[in-house]
Amino acid sequence: MAIRQLISPTVMWYAVNLYKIRKITLSEAAKLSNVSLRQMLDILEEHGVKGNVTMKHQIRSLDYARNL
């Protein structure tokens, strides 16, 4: 149990930093950290990391949703 307590924050820190430098997606960061997307958003906010979704991504997502 003590090892898990050490590994979890380290993995979380790693996921936050990979997300911050745009090497992984939000979904990948959440999966790596073993938390939900909502929890990952909260964790990123706690670490002062802003989202990396651009307006271009949002427009593409809206276009995709319209075509469903």
Cα angle vertex 16, ends 10, 17, to 5°?
A: 90
Give the tokens for residue 50: 């802003």
Residue pair 48/54 in contact by the 8 Å Cβ criterion? no
pLDDT in 10s for each residue of the chain, 68 residues: 454 555 588 899 999 999 999 899 999 999 999 899 889 989 999 999 987 777 787 788 888 889 88
Burial of 18 (C-beta count, 10 Å sphere; 0-12/13-18/19+)? middle
Q: CB–CB of 33/43 below 8 Å?
A: yes
Q: Where are the domains of the chain?
A: 2-66
DSSP 8-state symbol, 47: T
pLDDT at 3: 46
